[in-house]
């Protein structure tokens, strides 16, 4: 039996690169194609390893810039044979209405009627930009609640993938168990939660490229296969393989993505990457459990994260990171950051 894996990539123009009055192209370059490791690079790696993926594309920037940046996101994804579904960051609505200083960043700040209107608008913009009619949805920041599910059902969506136990109860506010990692039929749609692993303190950490080490990702996948989990849902972003400023690759995170793709390719008898438009999954009766914490894996991630942060995100201490062996520099940064 193979465990199905759905690789999802949230694809968007970002708030941190938005400059009022500026053209969309600088934001696109830093959010969608940063430092040569954005959408195009990720599509190349997926093709190299013959993997399927779902790109959740946010069309709401069209409210400010028109459809061209959304078309630029969608066209290469569809040309590569990958899937486009609907992502939505609500702050673009308020920016278009001149409410920049009071922008509502979470969809859950809108009532059910307003949520349905925004989701319908996003669906229509996505299709106008060239995507097929979406059947799956993920809210920006995983911000969804019961009103979101009701709106999605009303609009004919089949899947939602906004439940992220690590971000529960805010902004991921669905009335579901935070540790839920199995698909669940609820309120007329099938919820496809983001896969989680356990932290040392008993909390949860999402299966996100920038959040887990290579060893943790592989361990989580093997745990799922060994325990017959029906689905593993992985999260990435169009900008995630670059530094936060979008100006250079974050080689630590890029290598994680590359190695994840290679691992899934090598182990395709155990793992099958799928898309929402072919998912057709039955919801299990017995709940799957997240990968248990293991101190050595956690410590290894701390060191890896600290090294990557020092090397690619903190120029002030990058020189020290370069002059010291990676473990020494990483441990120094752990002390600096209070991790």
pLDDT at 127: 98
At 57-78, the pLDDT tens digits run 999 999 999 999 999 999 999 9
Q: Where are the domains of the chain?
A: 3-289, 294-339
Segment of 96-100, 299-303, 324-328 carrying the highest mean pLDDT: 96-100
pLDDT score of 328 more than 60: no
pLDDT at 322: 38
Phi and psi at residue 172, to the nearest 5°? -80, 95
At 107-165, the pLDDT tens digits run 999 999 999 999 999 999 999 999 999 999 999 999 999 999 999 999 999 999 999 99
- CB–CB of 210/255 below 8 Å? no
pTM of this prediction?
A: 0.91
The candidate with the shortest Cα–Cα distance to 216, out of 180, 260, 262, is 260
Average pLDDT value for residue range 31-43: 98
**CATH code linked to domain 3-289:** 3.20.20.370
Q: How far apart are CA 13 and CA 147, in angstroms?
A: 25
pLDDT score of 319 more than 70: no
pLDDT score of 308 more than 80: no
Tokens encoding 295:
């101190």
Q: How far is CA 317 from CA 284, 307, 325, in A?
A: 48, 10, 14
Higher local confidence (pLDDT), 63 or 285: 63
Average pLDDT value for residue range 190-219: 96
Tokens 């609500």 found at: 90
Higher local confidence (pLDDT), 50 or 334: 50
pLDDT score of 326 more than 70: no
Of 7-11, 90-94, 234-238, 334-338, minimum mean pLDDT range: 334-338
Phi and psi at residue 224, to the nearest 5°? -65, -45
The candidate with the shortest Cα–Cα distance to 118, out of 75, 158, 89, is 89
On average, the pLDDT of the chain sits at 90
Q: How far apart are CA 48 and CA 25, in angstroms?
A: 28
pLDDT at 323: 40
pLDDT at 315: 55
pLDDT score of 44 more than 50: yes
Number of Cβ within a 10 Å radius of residue 116: 19
Q: How far is CA 256 from the centre of its chain?
A: 14
**291: enclosing H helix or E strand:** none
pLDDT at 277: 95
């Amino acid at each position: 039996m193979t465990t199905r894996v759905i690789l999802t990539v949230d694809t968007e123009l970002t708030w941190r690169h938005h400059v009022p009055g500026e053209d969309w192209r600088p934001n696109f370059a830093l959010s969608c194609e940063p430092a040569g490791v954005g959408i195009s690079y990720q599509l190349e790696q997926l093709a190299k390893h013959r993997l399927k993926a779902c790109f959740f594309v946010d069309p709401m920037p069209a409210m400010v810039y028109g459809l061209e940046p959304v078309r630029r996101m969608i066209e290469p994804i569809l040309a590569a044979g990958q899937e486009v579904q609907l992502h939505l960051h609500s702050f673009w609505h308020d920016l278009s209405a001149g409410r920049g200083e009071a922008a509502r960043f979470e969809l859950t700040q809108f009532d059910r009627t307003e949520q349905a209107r925004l989701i319908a608008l996003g669906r229509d913009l996505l299709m106008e930009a060239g995507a097929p009619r979406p059947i799956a949805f993920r809210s920006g920041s995983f911000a969804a609640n019961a009103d979101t599910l009701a709106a999605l059902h009303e609009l004919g969506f089949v899947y939602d993938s906004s439940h992220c136990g690590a971000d529960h109860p805010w902004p991921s506010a669905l009335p579901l168990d935070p540790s839920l990692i199995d698909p669940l039929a609820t309120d007329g749609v099938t919820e496809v939660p983001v896969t989680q692993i356990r932290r040392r303190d008993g909390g949860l950490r999402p299966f996100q490229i920038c959040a887990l080490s290579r060893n943790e990702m592989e361990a989580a996948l093997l745990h799922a296969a060994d325990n017959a989990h029906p689905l593993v849902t992985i999260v990435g972003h169009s900008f995630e393989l670059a530094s936060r400023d979008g100006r250079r690759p974050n080689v630590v995170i890029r290598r994680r993505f590359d190695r994840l793709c290679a691992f899934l390719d090598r182990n395709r008898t155990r793992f099958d990457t799928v898309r929402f438009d072919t998912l057709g999954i039955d919801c299990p009766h017995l709940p799957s459990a997240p990968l248990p914490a293991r101190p050595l894996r956690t410590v290894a991630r701390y060191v890896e994260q600290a090294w990557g942060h020092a090397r690619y995100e903190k120029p002030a201490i990058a020189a020290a990171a370069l002059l010291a062996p990676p473990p020494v520099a990483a441990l120094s940064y752990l002390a600096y950051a209070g991790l």
